[in-house]
Structure 1
Amino acid sequence: MSITEQSGSSASLLTPRGQMALYLLLGFAAGLPFYMFSTVLALRLTAHGVGLVLIGFFVWVTLLPTFKFLWAPLLDRFDVPGFGRFWGRRRGWIMLSQLGIFTAMVGLAITASDRSLPVTALFAVLLAFWTTTLEIAADGWRIELAPTQEAQGPVVAANLWGYRSAMVAASSGSLLVADAAGWGPAYLVIAAAAFAPFPILAAMRPDPNHGGGRGVALLTGLFASAVILCAAAVATAAIGWVLLALAARMGVTAKSDATAAVLVICLVPFIIMALALPRIRRARPGDWIRRSAAIGPYVDIFWRFGYGTLPILLFVSLYRMGDVFALALSKPLVKSLGYTLTQIGVADGAIALAASMIGVAAGGWMVTRWPGAWVLAFGAILAAVGNWGFVWLAHQQPSNLILYIATASDQVGNGFAGAVFVVYLSMLVNPRFPGAQYAFLSGFAFLLPRLLAGASGSIEKSIGYDGFFMLSGGLSAAAALLLPIVIPLKPRAEDA
């Protein structure tokens, strides 16, 4: 079988190599946009004189993927009109998402001057939304294809190879283009590259459970997609207007220190979950909270793991903390040290790509051979060392070699930790609800880190870049201390 085989029942017929080829492509499609609404956008805002605190607030755009569980069930229950009829549910959502990614990046190219930050934020949020939607569809399919830890390792590695190579290509390529031609052309180049997988998906064979003509399905899907994209843009603009009005009324400005408020907000999910757990643990199979299509898949996680869910969620929140923090301020730090966009782009190119591939490959290989606790602990330490490398970088004279070493250290650690972490989360999922539960777990894993990263500008003002990266690395390393608690936790047996 090739990657042209379809979702649904036929997807299970893919050979291991076919699965890896498929997820190399899907990882590439999802990875290209990510840096464009995170680190590249932070550099763009820095170039236009936007303050560090306000840039930190823009990090909260990356919070959107943490709430993907809110719309993940829709992707399991509904088809995209036109696309779904011919290509099936999974690919239909992926194709719609790619159209959303393309239009959002074109919007960011048109607004490249950043004269209106709310408009820039609108397109950044839309880009994050459609990137996340693509990932939801792909993740649910992956867990169905590879239900065991041994099968997950190679597929996850291939997916992350595609994802991280695309991230590096987008970051490096966009910065090189931006240095030569400006931010608008940079976003247009990446938008064109992100759209490239669309015709490949459109050329695939039809889903065996669907039919009709390819041309009619494509035209219907494009029309339906235009309607959906416009509706999403209007809804996002309305919600953003309300949130900005509330923030203004509460006195939140570009000079506000949000650290204390964010720390309090971080405690709220754990308090709510602790209060709800007794009711969930007593729930019987026929109770509405377990049967509900909207919340049933998420209730199932708490029902199976009970109070063990709390340390599990604390562990997953800490594990990628360093990666998220580094994403927020690493590029502004490097730029402040005197490096040019071209130097940063080169470091984010071949150096970062090679280092990331090494980390992902090592993680994907070791997770199939080492006990889970040891692999997770090793990944946490590697990620922490990568963060601490930025402290070392800040105290060296600007040099390409020094920049390359710091970049490589960060990417090896993040690649390794990312690979083993995806496998760990996948093994927590109930195969009855693969898409929804993985969306919840992977989303919650980044909720607290991204909340805190949104206050990164305020934190840096208080403790400096050295303190900031020492703190972020320390939090990643601290996750290893929870392993003796979380690894022995096993899910409750299914009831009738």
Structure 2
Amino acid sequence: MTHEAIHEPIRWWREKPVWIMLLLGFSAGIPILLIFSSLSLWLREAGVEKSSVTYFSWAALGYSFKFMWAPLIDKVPVPILSKALGRRRGWLLISQLAVIGAICWMANVDPQSSLVAMALAAVMLGFSSATQDVVIDAFRIESSNARMQAILSSTYLTGYRVAMIVAGAGALYLAEYFGSTTDVYSYSAWRNTYYCMAGFMLVGVLTTLMVREPEHEGVDYPYPTRDYMRFTEVFVISVVAAVAVFWLAPSAPELAQGGLQHLISFVYGALVLCVALSVAYWVARMSLRLEFANPLMVEQGYVAPIKDFLKRYGALAVWVLILVGCYRISDIVLGIIANVFYQDMGYSKSQIASVTKVFGVLMTILGSFLGGFLALKIGVLRSLLLGAVLVVLTNLLFVWLTVVGDQFTFLAIPLPSFSFSEGWGGWTSLTLPRELTLVIIMDNLTQGIALIAFIAWLSSLTNVSFTATQYSLFSSIMTLIPKFLGGYSGTLVDMFGYTNFFLFASALGLPVIVLILYVSRHVDLKPVTRAKVG
């Protein structure tokens, strides 16, 4: 390796876009755990049933449907803000302010008084956070040249993971500090915690206000204002139609008792979701037939990226999409119930925070670096296969954790002691449950390896002419099925117990391994040339 090659990464860290993406990554990483793990512990301390707790994971379905409004963000300006700040910064600021508003809304709702209000606030947080993600992806791509994209992505993920520590471990530490424990629930403690999390979002707001708008080629908004309004109205009408289906749909029929009734409810919920999406599609289609919106805008924003993907992969496209939708199903379904499991096993909130939210996230970062190294050495598809196999194996470790039960042995980790008032204080010891720590090390290292391989594979599927829309579509499909199924994880635990549930979660990964072996024989990972958009 030459002297120049060694020092090139150091020069990259001197570039302003690298630090911008680090801060925007922090802004993007704050909301997600406020919907998942931190909220799940809040609800459990408030006395909400496990099955209801895991239903709240559906509030994050906005991440799975963000491809539906990603073209809207590209096509429609934000009144006043787009003119004052620019195309990307205008949307970025409005999404960040919406995230702050949603977190404060959640802070002002006691789940013991109104679960419905909490659910609505969580849905708003999921939608606004997913919107922020779409804008940041576009901002990153447009901020620098192709050579810088890898380092920008890695710094973005670093900021994202640091924010997960803040919103995960930080939220749990704050809630306990303010006075809420497993035995004594305090709404005010969780309210103050979520206010603090809203304050951390100011990092992203200040970054958005201070950075420059990426340069764009051509006219940002070539259509008249009326077209943008109609384009937005069609999207809103379609969403309202889908929500109306959910609102008006009757409850699942009571046809059986126990586990069979839970299965009926699951199938019924899936059917309602399919009907809602179908209604939204046909409402949009009828609007276009009536020429309510400019069909050229719809063609460029929605139709052209899909046609390109189907043309390139033909009949194999279906299997590729199935693999995209199922690759992370095993670890996501297990992860939704994980915090509740740790609590039920007798671990304290501080132990959960130390092991899973701090130590675990650091292990995920380490696994990400290892995943990148493996992708370079053995190739993307082999890394993808290795990640799938490791996920199945490491999920079985949770079965072992149920066997160990509450017979803890502890591991003492030496850490430096420092305070701002007294300075260096020598060494202290962090005491962690050994069995839980071992499981988290293996599980999060595996997640890092699998995630990096999967992101690299998803990137290879996109055409550079439609990078934002196609990648948004793939990343949405990636989490749609796992999150929907994960909403029933609490119900499955109530039916079958933790041991059988973890066996089931591991088994979900077996068809994924078969899919990878099949798809790897046909998918070409060569870069896709830029297509002409007529």
Relative to the length of structure 1, the TM-score reads 0.79
Residue 481 (structure 1) aligned to one of 514, 527, 531: 514
Is the contact between residue 140 and residue 434 of structure 1 (CA under 8 Å) also seen in structure 2? no
Distance 1:153 1:209 in 2: 21
Q: For the structure 1 residues 35 and 438, does the alpha-carbon distance in structure 2 shift closer, same or farther, using more than 3 Å as the test?
A: same
The answer to whether the aligner puts 1:462 opposite 2:495 as a matched pair is yes
Partner of 2:429: none
Using CA pairs below 8 Å that are at least 6 residues apart, which structure has the higher relative contact order?
1
**Which amino acid is the alignment partner of residue 191 of structure 2?**
G
Q: 1:382, 1:440 → 2: CA distance?
A: 26
Partner of 1:243: 246
Alpha carbons of 1:60 and 1:101: their partners in 2 closer, same or farther (altered >3 Å)?
A: same
Q: How do 1:327-338 and structure 2 match up within 5 A? A: 327-338=335-346
Q: CA deviation at 1:455?
A: 1.6
Cross-structure match for 1:401: 434
**Correspondence for 1:85:** 83
Distance change (3 Å), C-alpha of 1:384 and 1:361: same
What CA deviation, in whole Å up to 9, does each residue of 1:187-210 have, x standing for no partner? Answer: 111111122221122012355569
Q: Distance in 2 between matches of 1:24 and 1:71?
A: 25
Q: 1:317-338 CA deviation, whole Å, 9 max, x = no partner?
A: 2211123112210011111011
1:381 to partner: Cα distance: 2.6
- The TM-score with structure 2 as length reference comes to 0.74
Q: Is the 8 A contact 1:386 1:413 kept in 2?
A: yes
Say if 2:43 is the partner of 1:50: no
Task: Point out the more displaced range, 485-494 or 136-145.
Answer: 485-494
* Identical pairs, percent: 27
> Which residues in structure 2 correspond to 1:52-451 (within 5 Å)?
52-143=50-141, 153-181=150-178, 182-206=189-213, 243-244=246-247, 246-248=249-251, 257-260=261-264, 262=266, 291-396=299-404, 397-399=407-409, 400-451=433-484
Counterpart CA distance in 2 for 1:117 and 1:26 is: 31
8 A Cα contact 1:302 1:309, kept in partner: yes
Aligned counterparts of 1:345 and 1:15: Cα–Cα separation in 2: 31
C-alpha displacement at 1:352, in angstroms? 1.5
State the one-letter code of the partner of 1:480: I
Alpha-carbon separation, structure 2, partners of 1:28 and 1:409: 25
- Retained in 2: the 8 A contact 1:266–1:448? no
Deviations 1:175-197 (A, max 9, x none): 11112212111111111112222
Alpha carbons of structure 1 residues 305 and 208: separation in structure 2 relative to 1, 3 Å: closer
Q: CA RMSD in A?
A: 3.7
- Aligned partner of 2:283 in structure 1 is none
1:62-115, Cα deviation, whole Å (9 max, x unpaired)? 222111111110111123233322433222222211111111001111113441
Does structure 1 retain, via aligned residues, the 8 Å contact 2:164–2:357?
Answer: no
Following superposition, the deviation at residue 289 of structure 1 comes to: 12
Contact conserved, 1:97 with 1:130, CA < 8 A, in 2?
A: yes
Preserved CA contact (<8 Å) 1:290 1:300 = no
- Mapped partners of 1:290, 1:184: distance in 2: 42
Aligned equivalent of 1:284: none
Alpha carbons 2:391, 2:447 under 8 Å: kept: yes
Of residues 460-469 and 136-145 in structure 1, the stretch that sits farther from structure 2 once superposed is: 136-145
User: What is the alpha-carbon distance in structure 2 between the residues aligned to residue 478 and residue 19 of structure 1?
Assistant: 40
> Retained in 2: the 8 A contact 1:460–1:468?
yes
Query: CA 1:247/1:19 → structure 2, altered by over 3 Å: closer, same or farther?
Result: farther
How far did residue 307 of structure 1 move?
1.5
Contact 1:106 1:187 in 2 (8 A): yes
**SS in structure 2 opposite 1:295?**
helix
Q: Give the C-alpha shift of residue 169 in structure 1.
A: 2.1
Question: 2:117 & 2:268 partners in 1: Cα distance?
Answer: 29
CA contact (8 A) 1:160 1:360 kept: no
Letter aligned with residue 299 of structure 1: K
Match of 2:37 in 1: 39
Structure 2 residue runs without a partner (length 5+): 1-11, 179-188, 218-231, 279-294, 410-432
AA aligned to 1:97 is S
**Deviation (angstroms), 1:125:** 0.3
More helix by share: 1
Helix, strand or coil at the partner of 1:293: helix
Say which SS state the counterpart of residue 79 (structure 2) adopts: coil
Cα distance in 1 for residues equivalent to 2:354 and 2:129: 25
Unaligned runs of 5+ in 1: 1-13, 211-227, 274-286
Conserved 8 A contact 2:139-2:214: no
Amino acid at match of 2:208: L
